[in-house]
Structure 1
């Protein structure tokens, strides 16, 4: 199978990750409308035939590109649009809508503050579902109803319920399915109150004043357990504010992996490995990245 005519080639994707390390992709495709889904089955076959990887990208707030050139197909999701039914409290949204923007609009335009804690949370709806994103006690799964997906293996569109999604801490069925499914849109029931945590969390002040800004994807490692946050462990082994090449752990929040604008993905990987090794050696705890590290197929 020759190259598909609708695939762009040699595209700069530096700005498709919040880390903004320099990167290109061999092939590139955008999904701007549901009609563009028709090519996914052919792209999937093309990748299998050429032994290429493919990767879906939405907001790019949880990705680290660990390559100079991606030897595969980057599929950029641009599906936008959402609506909220005040009578049923059901939110309908496409997968590339930003969860923070929706949460902010729900509060201002519909007096619906159930997602208040999501204001300022970086990332798209699709990414939030994929990794069961959460903050301040509110998780994506809490109000999730179902999602409409495209199955690349069969070319069929299917709907998965909350039970089907197998949500866990920062994980889901989709995350474990190795890019077989593309999230098109989803529904959430915002009538369900979450009583576990106080509703007056000042998450906006926290994000504005206590979280660093720059070339970062936010919290890099998962918290190992309730008693040990990743940031606390990084600080305990002396790596808070530590710099290696152009990469460093923020002096403001130790679990924020960043770079100074000149840092490379190699700098970031070296610092990640250093943190994992030191914490395993000194604390007997193994840190697991929350951010997805994307390598080329080996």
Structure 2
């Protein structure tokens, strides 16, 4: 059962808001695609109370809001975002191990958590090596590889609801599946999680990292895999490749010649360039193979948010 852990009672602090919210911040500076116009408001809360203040501010002003992790799985429009972008990676980065439990805040780097675990003799996250996500982003999208997903080690996830209440969900309540979770459907902000350590599964992290270097354009600005792999048959990259689209360009965006499920910014791409390649790839794959590709990257618009 979802557990209520804390009620919001602290009044809004205007001084606090002035310290954590900035105006007209270029989202291209906060995403791995290096595209995206300005956010009307960009918040970097330093505590739960300040995060609650930010939510209350957005609610009072009637503003849309969105949480941004490391920005490695997001595509913002060229016009920017008409609302509040909340980023936790600057201040919510605590990682702690207690015996065989890992507790991590949402803003912690997945790579930093993996490195800390290895120092302590745990290798539970080695299958996630090279994924440039925050813990919150990884939990929301159920980051992983074909052989392993982060959800396998989850004990519970703590979220902040719109009304300022903290809730704790166990693994089953998170409703995890391939690149999906309840957090993609609910109006909650992940603030932290607890993981069970000591799993028997081991991965060769060096081999996995080398595989990424060999097969993925990790040196170019991108947002990782654009599409989820279909449940049956060839993967999304293979289908795009077989459709003859490797190397296809639109403005400054290009379908990677190295891995067709990656779109890279060659230097001067706009979000619209990337969206046009996404749409073209979807249409061509459907025409050639009758497979409807589903997005893995989060495409943000000003029309589909609260």
On whether the aligned pair clears a TM of 0.5, the verdict is: yes
Residue 303 of structure 2 is aligned to residue 294 of structure 1 = no
Among 164, 170, 179, which residue is 1:161 paired with?
170
Which residue pairs with 1:190 in the alignment?
197
- Contact 1:26–1:72 (CA under 8 A) maintained in structure 2: yes
- Contact 1:117–1:138 (CA under 8 A) maintained in structure 2: yes
Residues in 1 aligned to 2:200 and 2:29: alpha-carbon distance in whole angstroms: 37
TM-superposed CA distance for 1:22, in Å, is 4.0
Which residue pairs with 2:49 in the alignment?
35
- Contact 2:240–2:281 (CA under 8 A) maintained in structure 1: yes
**TM-score normalized with structure 2 length:** 0.88
Residue 181 of structure 2 is aligned to residue 172 of structure 1 = yes
Residues in 2 aligned to 1:27 and 1:268: alpha-carbon distance in whole angstroms: 24
Residues in 1 aligned to 2:61 and 2:196: alpha-carbon distance in whole angstroms: 37
SS at match of 1:218: coil
RMSD (Å), alpha carbons: 1.7
Which residue pairs with 2:106 in the alignment?
95
Residues in 2 aligned to 1:187 and 1:224: alpha-carbon distance in whole angstroms: 30
- Contact 1:47–1:54 (CA under 8 A) maintained in structure 2: no
- Listed as ranges, the gaps of 5+ residues in structure 1 are none
Deviations 1:121-156 (A, max 9, x none): 11011001101111141101100011111111x221
Residues in 1 aligned to 2:117 and 2:126: alpha-carbon distance in whole angstroms: 9
Residues in 2 aligned to 1:282 and 1:209: alpha-carbon distance in whole angstroms: 28
Residues in 1 aligned to 2:61 and 2:145: alpha-carbon distance in whole angstroms: 36
Which residue pairs with 1:200 in the alignment?
204
**TM-score normalized with structure 1 length:** 0.90
Residue 97 of structure 2 is aligned to residue 84 of structure 1 = yes
User: Once structures 1 and 2 are overlaid, which stretch shifts more, 272-281 or 97-106?
Assistant: 97-106
Query: What is the correspondence of 1:10-29 to structure 2 with a 5 Å cutoff?
Result: 10-29=24-43
Residues in 2 aligned to 1:103 and 1:73: alpha-carbon distance in whole angstroms: 30
- Contact 1:47–1:53 (CA under 8 A) maintained in structure 2: no
- Contact 2:77–2:271 (CA under 8 A) maintained in structure 1: yes
Residues in 1 aligned to 2:52 and 2:283: alpha-carbon distance in whole angstroms: 45
CA pair 22-156 structure 1, distance change in 2 beyond 3 A: closer
Residue 131 of structure 2 is aligned to residue 121 of structure 1 = yes
- Contact 1:220–1:255 (CA under 8 A) maintained in structure 2: yes
Which residue pairs with 1:242 in the alignment?
248
**Equivalenced residues, count:** 283
- Listed as ranges, the gaps of 5+ residues in structure 2 are 1-13
Residues in 2 aligned to 1:293 and 1:149: alpha-carbon distance in whole angstroms: 22
CA pair 132-47 structure 1, distance change in 2 beyond 3 A: farther
